C-alpha cells in the first residue's frame, strides 16, 4: 500500500476577483523510502497542493471542492483537526524555503527544537534536549550543546536550514515534505544540504516529497518525478525515463530551455508566451497556447491519462514525438 | 596587437563602515565587500562575474557605475579616469555605462508609465527630441519584444519577464557602450529566463555592447559570457575564458563551485563526483588571515594560513589564478 496517496485533489482560492484554481485535480502516490520530486514553474500549484491538505493555508479563501488524500489509507481531508495536528509535524514533517522566516526569532534554537518532541513524542524536556542535540549532530552542526542556546539570527542561511531539517526529523517522520529547501542557499551549501537529506533517508527509510523549480536538483535526488503546470499534473515518470524519454511537450520544452554547465549552446530553445492566469483558465489544456504540438482537441478538453508504461503517465493528446 | 580595454579596473576596493554605537559614530570596523579587484573589459566582450552571496559581486557592479562610490582604486572608462570626474563632466559620461537590476518589480517605478520610464533617461541628459526620440522609443521597445501599446501602461500590468524586457529597453535607450547586468534573470522562471537570456545575447551582439554579467548561476553565465571571473570574499580568485574555466578549472574554489552545480540529467548526476566544501562563507568583516579560502579549502597547506596568494598567470597572461598550489 502506498504511504501517501493523492487522488483528484483540487484546491481553489475564492477571492474577490474570482476563483483562482491553483490545483485542478491532481493524483499521485508516494511509497515508503521513495523520493518524489515535484517540479514546476511559479504558480504551477506545486506548493499549494501540499499545503492545502495539511491545512496550512487560511480557509477561506482556500476551498478543497474535491479529492482525497490518503495517509496509510486514511483520508486526511476528513480528519478532525486534533487528529491532523497529531500527524502534522510528527509523522508528516515539512521544511520550508525560507529558513529566515520559518524559525521564531525570539526563541533559542534549542527551545524550538524540543517543541515537537515534547508535544508529539511526549518526552520530558531533559530527554528531548538530548534528542535534539543528536539531531543537530546528524545534520552536521558542530558543538550541538552550544548551538542549542543561540538564536536564529546568529546562524547563517545554510545553518538555519540545517536546524529546520533537524527539527523536521526529531519526531522520525515517515513523510518529509521539503518545499524548495535549497532555493535560498548558495550552490556549495545546497550540495551539503541535499547530501544530508540523502544520507538521513538511507538511514531512516523516510519518504521525501521534494518541491523545486530546479531540474538539476530533481535529477540528483528523486526516484520519481511529477511535472506540474497551471494546477495540473502533466507527466509522472521515474527520474531516468522523464529526462530521457519524456512523453509531454511541456516537459521536453522545459528540459531544453534549462541552461546546463556541461553543454555549450549558441541559443537556448525557449517556450514562447507566459504562464496563464489561474483565475481565467479556459477549458482544455492550459499549455495550449504555448504548445508546439497543439491540436484542435487540446482546446476542447483536458487530456485523460495516457499510460506509457506501468510507471509512466502523461497527460497529452499528442502521442508521437520525434 | 591587443585591443585597448573599454573599461580598466585596478585594485578597486569597496569598504562599508560598520558602526555599532548610536553615539559612538566612529566606524568600529570595515566590511570589505570588494577588496582589491582588477580586470579589463574589452569592446564587445561579455565578462561573467560569479560567486556566492556575500562575495561582493553586486558591490563591484554598482561601483563600476559609481552608484556606490569605491573606497579606493581606479576605473578607466575608454582610457579616461572615471573616478576623477565630477559634476557635469561625470554626468555627460554616465550614458556610456548603464545597469540592469535583478528585480524588475523593484527597479521600475510603479507610478510611472512605461513611456515616462523610458523618456526619463533621455530627458535627464537633455537628449529628448520629440518626434525623433519617440521613434527611438518605439524602435527599442519593439526590439525587446514589447508592443508599443505598452507605452501608456504601468509596470504592474506586465509579467516579470516583460518587466525585465522593459528594464533592458531603459538601459539601451541612452545607447551605452557598457551594460552592467546584476542577476538579470535570477527572479524569472526557467521558460521566461531563457527568453530574456536569448534577448540579452542578441542585443549584445547587435549593438556590439560590452557587458559585465553578474550571476550566481554558473550555467547561465556559461551561456552568455566570453570570459569569467570567479569571486570569493571580495577578491577575484580565478579569471579566464569560459572554455577553460569550465573544462579545466584551476583554483580549488572554482573546482568546488562547478562541481556543486546540479546538472539536469540523472545519469550525469549519478556518475559525478562532488568536491564537498566544508562549512560556509566566512564573514567579510573579519575575513580569515592569509588566503581567505583556507577555512574551506580541500588542499589547504600551513603556508596558506599565513600569507594571501596573489593573482598569477597560469599558462598564459589571460588566465590568472590566485592559489599557491596552482603552478
Give the integer Cα–Cα distance in Å for A233 and A39: 10
Q: How many residues does chain A have?
A: 322
Give the closest-approach CA distance of A33 to chain B in angstroms.
Answer: 18
Residues 291-310 of A with CB under 8 A from B: none
Q: Do A258 and B190 touch (CB under 8 A)?
A: yes
Cβ contacts of B223 on chain A, cutoff 8 Å: 259, 265, 268
What is the rounded distance in angstroms from the CA atom of residue A227 to the CA atom of residue A64? Answer: 21
| Residue to test with chain B: of A270, A277, A286, most B Cβ within 10 A | A270
Work out the minimum CA distance from A82 to partner chain B, whole angstroms: 38
Cα–Cα distance for residue pair B121/B163, rounded to 1 Å: 17
pLDDT of amino acid B49: 95
How far is Cα A249 from Cα A254, in angstroms, rounded to an integer?
9
* A257 → closest Cβ in B159, B190, B217: B190
CA-based nearest residue in chain B for residue A43: B189
Q: Is the Cβ pair A187, B257 closer than 8 Å?
A: yes
Residues of A within 8 A of B263 (CB-CB) are 216, 219-220, 260-262
pLDDT tens across A175-209, in order? Answer: 999 998 888 788 888 888 898 889 889 988 999 99
Interface contact B246-A261, CB threshold 8 A: yes
Q: Which residues of B touch A270 (CB under 8 A)?
A: 191, 194-195, 198
Alpha-carbon distance B88 to A249, whole Å? 55
Closest residue by Cα to residue B262 from A217, A244, A254 = A217
Sign of the torsion formed by the C-alpha atoms of A211, A213, A215 and A220: negative
Half-sphere exposure of B256 (CA within 13 A, CB side): 26
Secondary structure of residue B193 in the 3-state scheme: helix
β-strand pairing of A4-15 with A62-63? antiparallel
- CB-closest option in B191, B195, B259 to A254: B191
B interface toward A at CB cutoff 8 Å?
Answer: 52-53, 159, 161-162, 189-195, 197-198, 201, 216-220, 222-223, 246, 256-269, 274, 276-277, 280-281
Chain B residues whose CB is inside 8 A of the A267 CB are 198, 201
State CA A79 to chain mean position distance. Answer: 22
- The rounded percent of chain A whose pLDDT value lies above 70 is 100
Contacts of B265 in chain A (CB under 8 A): 219, 243, 260, 262
| A143 part of contact set with chain B, CB < 8 Å | no
Task: Quote the CA–CA distance of A269 and A254 in Å, as a whole number.
Answer: 9
| Interchain pair B276, A158: CB under 8 A | no
Distance separating alpha carbons of residues A316 and A161, to the nearest angstrom: 38
3-class secondary structure, B212 = strand
DSSP state of B287: P
Q: Which of A190, A239, A269 comes nearest B266 by C-beta? A: A239
| Whole-number pLDDT of residue B104 | 86
**Is A242 a residue whose pLDDT tops 70?**
yes
Q: What angle do CA B50, B234, B230 make, to 5 degrees?
A: 25
Q: Which of A188, A253, A262 sits opposite B256 (nearest CB)?
A: A188
Distance of alpha carbon B144 from alpha carbon B224, whole angstroms: 17
**Contact call for B266 and A214, based on CB within 8 A:** no
- pLDDT at A213 > cutoff 60: yes
Cα–Cα distance between B322 and B68 in angstroms, integer? Answer: 26
Q: Are strands A207-212 and A175-179 parallel, antiparallel or unpaired?
A: parallel
Instruction: Match 521525501 to its residue by C-alpha cell.
Output: A208
Q: Where are the alpha helices (DSSP H) in chain B?
A: 57-64, 87-93, 104-107, 114-124, 130-143, 160-172, 190-206, 218-224, 242-247, 252-260, 266-271, 302-306
Residues of B in contact with A258 (CB under 8 A): 190, 194, 219, 264
Beta-carbon pairs below 8 A across chains A and B: 131
Contacts of A186 in chain B (CB under 8 A): 52-53, 216, 280-281
* Amino acid B172: pLDDT: 94
Q: Quick check: A130 contacting B, CB < 8 Å?
A: no
Report yes or no: B96 and B80 within 8 Å, Cβ to Cβ: no
pLDDT digits (tens, 9 = 90+) for A77-108: 999 999 999 999 889 999 988 777 888 999 99
- Residue B162 CA: distances (Å) to CA of A131, B186, B252: 50, 14, 39
0.90 surpassed by pTM:
no
Distance from the B272 Cα atom to the nearest Cα atom in chain A, whole angstroms: 10
List chain B pLDDT tens, one digit each, 327 residues.
578 899 999 999 999 988 776 666 677 788 899 999 999 999 999 999 999 888 899 999 999 999 999 999 999 999 999 999 999 999 999 999 999 998 888 899 999 999 999 999 999 998 888 888 889 999 999 999 998 888 999 999 898 889 999 999 999 999 999 999 999 998 888 888 999 999 999 999 999 999 999 999 999 999 999 999 999 999 999 999 999 999 999 999 999 999 999 999 999 988 888 888 887 788 888 888 999 999 999 999 999 999 999 999 999 999 999 999 988
Interface of A with B in 179-198 (CB under 8 A): 186-192, 194-195
Looking at residue B79, the DSSP 8-state letter turns out to be T
- Cβ contact B260–A188 (<8 Å): yes
CA distance linking residue B189 with residue A74, whole number of Å: 36
The beta-carbon contacts of B268-277 under 8 Å, at least 24 apart in sequence, are B268/A219, B268/A262, B269/A216, B269/A219, B269/A220, B274/A191, B274/A195, B276/A191, B276/A192, B276/A195, B277/A188, B277/A191, B277/A192
Considering only the beta carbons, identify the residue of B189, B195, B266 that sits closest to A41.
B189
Tell me what ipTM this predicted complex has. Answer: 0.82
Q: Which residues of B touch A215 (CB under 8 A)?
A: 190, 264
With contact defined as beta carbons under 8 Å apart, do B61 and B227 qualify? no
The pLDDT tens digits for A114-170 are 988 898 888 899 999 998 998 888 888 888 888 899 999 888 888 888 898 889 888
Of A189, A222, A261, the CB nearest to B222: A261
Chain-centroid distance of CA A255 in Å reads: 19
Q: Which band of pLDDT confidence, cut at 50, 70 and 90, is reported for residue A12?
A: very high
Q: Are the C-beta atoms of A98 and A182 separated by less than 8 Å?
A: no
Is A80 touching B (CB cutoff 8 A)?
no
From residue B193, give the alpha-carbon distance in Å to each of A44, A254, B190, B284. Answer: 16, 11, 5, 31
> Which helix (H) or strand (E) is B238 found in, with range?
strand B235-241
Contacts of B262 in chain A (CB under 8 A): 187, 190-191, 194, 214, 216-217, 219-220
Q: What is the DSSP-derived secondary structure letter of residue A88?
A: B
- Residue A100 forms contact with B (CB below 8 Å): no
Contact flag A259-B220 (C-beta cutoff 8 Å)? yes
Q: What's the CA gap between A61 and A54, in Å, rounded? A: 15
Question: How near does any CA of chain A get to the CA of B45, in Å?
Answer: 16
Are A243 and B266 a contacting pair at CB < 8 A?
A: yes
Amino acid at each position: 500500500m502506498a504511504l501517501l496517496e493523492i487522488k483528484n485533489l483540487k484546491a481553489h482560492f475564492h477571492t474577490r476577483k474570482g476563483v483562482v484554481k491553483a490545483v485542478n485535480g491532481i493524483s499521485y502516490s508516494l511509497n515508503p523510502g521513495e523520493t518524489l520530486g515535484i517540479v514546476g514553474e511559479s504558480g504551477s500549484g506545486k506548493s499549494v497542493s501540499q499545503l492545502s491538505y495539511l491545512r496550512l493555508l487560511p480557509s477561506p479563501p482556500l476551498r478543497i471542492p474535491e479529492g482525497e488524500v490518503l495517509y496509510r489509507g486514511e483520508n486526511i481531508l476528513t480528519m478532525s483537526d486534533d487528529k491532523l495536528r497529531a500527524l502534522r509535524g510528527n509523522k508528516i514533517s515539512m521544511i520550508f524555503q525560507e529558513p529566515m522566516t520559518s524559525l521564531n526569532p525570539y526563541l533559542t534554537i534549542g527551545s524550538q527544537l524540543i517543541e515537537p518532541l515534547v508535544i508529539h513524542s511526549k518526552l520530558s524536556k531533559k530527554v528531548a534536549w538530548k534528542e535534539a542535540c543528536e539531531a543537530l549532530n546528524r545534520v552536521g552542526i558542530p558543538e550541538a550543546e552550544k548551538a542549542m542556546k543561540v538564536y536564529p539570527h546568529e546562524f547563517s542561511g545554510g545553518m538555519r536550514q540545517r536546524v529546520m531539517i533537524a527539527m523536521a526529523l526529531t519526531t522520525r517522520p515517515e513523510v518529509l515534505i521539503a518545499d524548495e529547501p535549497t532555493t535560498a542557499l548558495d550552490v556549495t551549501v545546497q550540495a551539503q544540504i541535499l547530501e544530508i537529506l540523502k544520507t538521513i533517508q538511507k538511514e531512516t527509510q523516510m519518504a521525501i516529497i521534494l518541491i523545486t523549480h530546479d531540474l538539476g536538483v530533481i535529477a540528483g535526488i528523486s526516484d520519481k518525478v511529477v511535472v506540474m503546470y497551471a494546477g495540473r499534473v502533466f507527466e509522472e515518470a521515474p527520474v531516468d525515463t522523464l529526462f530521457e524519454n519524456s512523453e509531454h511537450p511541456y516537459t521536453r520544452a522545459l528540459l531544453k530551455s534549462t541552461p546546463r554547465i556541461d553543454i555549450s549552446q549558441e541559443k537556448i530553445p525557449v517556450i514562447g508566451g507566459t504562464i496563464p492566469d489561474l483565475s481565467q483558465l479556459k477549458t482544455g489544456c492550459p499549455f495550449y497556447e504555448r504548445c508546439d504540438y497543439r491540436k484542435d482537441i487540446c482546446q476542447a478538453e483536458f487530456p485523460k491519462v495516457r499510460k506509457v508504461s506501468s510507471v509512466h503517465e502523461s497527460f497529452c493528446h499528442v502521442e508521437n514525438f520525434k | 596587437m591587443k585591443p585597448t580595454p573599454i573599461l580598466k579596473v585596478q585594485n578597486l576596493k569597496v569598504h562599508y563602515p560598520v558602526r555599532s554605537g548610536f553615539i559612538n559614530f566612529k566606524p568600529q570596523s570595515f566590511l570589505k565587500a570588494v577588496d582589491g579587484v582588477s580586470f579589463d573589459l574589452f569592446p564587445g566582450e561579455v565578462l561573467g562575474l560569479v560567486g556566492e552571496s556575500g562575495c561582493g559581486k553586486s558591490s563591484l557592479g554598482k561601483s563600476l557605475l559609481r552608484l556606490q562610490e569605491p573606497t579606493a582604486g581606479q576605473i578607466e572608462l575608454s582610457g579616461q579616469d572615471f573616478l576623477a570626474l565630477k559634476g557635469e563632466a561625470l554626468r555627460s559620461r554616465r550614458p556610456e555605462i548603464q545597469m540592469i537590476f535583478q528585480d524588475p518589480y523593484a527597479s521600475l517605478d510603479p507610478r510611472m508609465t512605461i513611456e515616462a520610464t523610458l523618456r526619463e533617461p533621455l530627458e535627464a541628459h537633455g537628449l529628448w527630441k520629440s518626434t525623433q526620440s519617440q521613434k527611438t522609443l518605439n524602435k527599442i521597445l519593439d526590439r525587446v519584444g514589447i508592443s508599443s501599446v505598452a507605452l501608456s501602461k504601468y509596470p504592474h500590468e506586465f509579467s516579470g519577464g516583460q518587466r525585465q524586457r522593459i528594464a533592458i529597453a531603459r538601459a539601451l535607450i541612452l545607447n551605452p557602450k557598457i551594460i552592467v547586468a546584476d542577476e538579470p534573470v535570477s527572479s524569472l522562471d526557467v521558460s521566461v529566463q531563457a527568453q530574456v537570456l536569448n534577448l540579452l545575447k542578441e542585443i549584445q551582439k547587435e549593438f556590439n555592447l560590452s557587458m559585465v554579467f553578474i550571476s550566481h548561476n554558473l550555467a547561465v553565465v556559461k551561456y552568455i559570457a566570453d570570459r569569467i571571473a570567479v569571486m570569493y570574499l571580495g577578491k577575484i580568485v580565478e579569471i579566464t575564458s569560459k572554455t577553460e574555466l569550465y573544462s579545466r578549472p584551476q583554483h580549488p574554489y572554482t573546482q568546488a563551485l562547478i562541481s556543486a552545480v546540479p546538472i539536469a540529467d540523472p545519469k550525469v548526476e549519478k556518475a559525478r563526483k562532488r568536491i564537498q566544501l566544508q562549512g560556509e562563507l566566512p564573514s567579510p568583516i573579519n575575513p580569515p588571515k592569509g588566503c581567505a579560502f583556507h577555512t574551506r579549502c580541500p588542499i589547504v597547506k600551513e603556508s596558506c594560513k599565513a600569507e594571501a596568494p596573489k593573482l598569477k598567470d597560469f599558462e598564459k597572461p589571460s588566465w590568472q589564478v590566485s592559489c599557491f598550489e596552482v603552478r
